[in-house]
Chain A
């Protein structure tokens, strides 16, 4: 490990510790009471943030961010149809969500294969079309007795504050499964993400690994739907990964840093919403994640906009002063 790598790992560790320290600090400074509700929601939000951001790293690097968005939006009609068939059974609703997501992506694939339409357009068609179907079904369902009590519309924006301990456990188990699988197949996943053709030529089972990643993606979305909702789920997937990419050039560091960002966004969103009675939890989590992204895009050394502008200014300064351009330091970024 180079010294620069070690430095980055230390910074990541330091960041994680600092964020954990925020908990006792906030208790002292803001007099936040970490009672059962706040703890459950913060843990659930953090757990989902970790799971989503880790899977999201692969989605982003495989240029599948739009796929993640399409999968979330496409789940809505599945929830509606599952309700029509099985009633208010949460397991049935989530299975319906998973099936609808999967069908949506197969449909997009079929469009790409059989017509001239490109993948992003096909996904856009599925995203909006499936979601509209879901809204239409919800509108039809709303007039039925029992529909309001099922809270199907909560799947659109999520309801984080009403989490109970069993919800957190489900997310934690899903995260554990995902991490074990990712760790087992780490190098193969890295390879097929970077150079798919080379992987294929070398006998790596590319299709099987694709299926693994898609399944983990659908699993993550389904597990997070009740919490974050179909519209906002993609934010938890993508934002921490994009932010982490700004600070590191190693895949392993990117994934861990994304997990830290995701945990922070999920946990702090929950905690801040607990400060004021009127703030909704799900959207706050995404706001925190977005703030991290914007900060990273602007201020990260090497890739950040501010840093790049500063480098340009320095270069221009050297040129106007008639001096040779200072050797661009080859940073390890």
Chain B
């Protein structure tokens, strides 16, 4: 910090009249204000998806009140492929200190905004960055080899990927707010351990189903990573993004698959209209086979409402596992669901664990 005494020759009363000295003092002291203000201003963090918001909440747990101010853009049940940012969303992003988003074009309508924000110098954390380097990234299955392969953006369904994102976000938060870097790191490590617990529990549960029945039929192709992490195969009506309209051929091929493999149950999703699955079911029934829909819908692109079990990543993941396995059990498939790890937070509500 420059003191007035070092500026003697500059501040020479012969050179500068009184008004001029007054103005210079004013200007110099204005330069000090932002530094003072920064200490009290909360860190504005904007998260796009429910998963991103959940992760930020967990990593900032335990901070003194008012340190961070979080804004989530998409709510429960919102389809991030189709969501268009509103004016207030864009304002929030422009004024954010930190923007956390998924990446791999999950937030399909945000690409231009992200480019613009980058130019404006907002700190952007793309959660898929560490995943692209050291995690599991799937490509959309391509029929035409000449088309450039596209990434599947639903990476968080592999808990090992989510661990990488959690650690990465912890680091980035620490860089932006060094004062609390230790807390972020602590939270991230604890959370990674929790993710280990849920992953092993889920793997054991899903592997208990006989190998020839490990198929998951859903509305859109959101569960490749889920299947890859847990040893199941995924079939869906719509492609990776719900932006594409399903065609008759899409529905037909799923119908054929369901009938040929005698799949007993299909799943609707919380953020996608169920009519494609209904159409598949009717077609399957017309061929004389039987197929039902699951006891509940699955969380695919969006999690549940904040405050509920399904509103957290671990809760959402676990609830999906319960939904799938309970649905299969109801159709007579042999399923063994191990007890929920006792030190895994949050704990599932009693009526969720109960077999329907």
Contact = CB atoms under 8 A, between A and B. Distances in A.
A is bound by B: yes
A47 to B, nearest CB: 16
Contacts of A143: 73-75, 78, 83, 86
A37 B248 contact: yes
A164 B246 contact: no
Given A36-B287, A147-B77, A162 B252 contact: no
A162 B282 CA distance: 10
Contact of B305 (A35, A139, A145): A145
Nearest to A33: B252
Nearest to B275: A162
A153 B302 CA distance: 17
A163 B287 contact: no
B181 to A, nearest CB: 33
Interface stretch (B120-128, B227-235, B266-274): B266-274
A188 to B, nearest CB: 40
Interface string B62-93: 00000000000111111100111010000000
A159 B79 contact: no
A79 B291 CA distance: 32
B283 interface: yes
Contacts of A36: 255, 282-283, 286-287
B75 A145 contact: yes
Which of A36, A41, A271, A282 has the most CB atoms of chain B within a 10 A radius of its CB? A36
Interface stretch (A198-206, A258-266, A272-280): A272-280
Given A37-B283, A163-B279, A149 B249 contact: no
Contacts of A151: 272-273, 275
Contacts of B251: 37, 161-162
A161 B250 contact: yes
Interface string B109-138: 000000000000000000000000000000
Interface in A123-151: 139-140, 142-151
A190 interface: no
Nearest to B72: A143
Contacts of A102: none
A149 B248 contact: no
Contacts of A159: 245-246, 273, 275
Given A35-B252, A37-B283, A165-B282, A148 B271 contact: yes
B157 to A, nearest CB: 18
Interface in A253-311: 270-271, 273-282
B249 A273 contact: yes
Contacts of A148: 77-79, 82, 271-273, 302
B247 A274 contact: yes
A147 B78 contact: yes
Interface string A140-178: 101111111111011001011111110000000000000
Nearest to A38: B248
A282 B248 CA distance: 11
A82 to B, nearest CB: 16
A149 B273 contact: yes
Interface in A174-223: none
A271 B247 CA distance: 10
Q: Give the size range of A's interface with the partner.
A: 35 or more
Contacts of A33: 252
B253 interface: yes
Nearest to A146: B77
A40 interface: yes
A147 to B, nearest CB: 7
B305 A161 contact: no
B276 interface: yes
A37 B279 contact: yes
Contacts of B143: 277
A274 B249 contact: yes
A144 to B, nearest CB: 7
A220 B272 CA distance: 27
Contacts of B79: 142, 148
A281 B270 contact: no
Interface string B220-261: 000000000000000000000000111111111101000000
Contacts of A40: 279, 282-283
B278 interface: yes
A276 B247 contact: yes
A277 B247 contact: yes
A280 B245 contact: yes
A279 B249 contact: yes
A282 B302 CA distance: 28
Contacts of B280: 37
A41 B84 CA distance: 30
A150 B273 contact: yes
Contacts of B255: 35-37
Contacts of A142: 78-79, 82-84
Given A36-B255, A277-B247, 4 more contacts: A144-B78, A153-B82, A161-B251, A161-B279
27 contacts: A35-B252, A35-B287, A36-B286, A36-B287, A37-B251, A37-B255, A40-B283, A142-B79, A143-B74, A144-B78, A148-B77, A148-B79, A148-B271, A149-B271, A150-B273, A151-B273, A151-B275, A154-B273, A161-B247, A161-B279, A164-B278, A276-B249, A277-B249, A277-B250, A277-B253, A279-B249, A281-B247
Interface of A: 33, 35-38, 40-41, 139-140, 142-151, 153-154, 157, 159-165, 270-271, 273-282
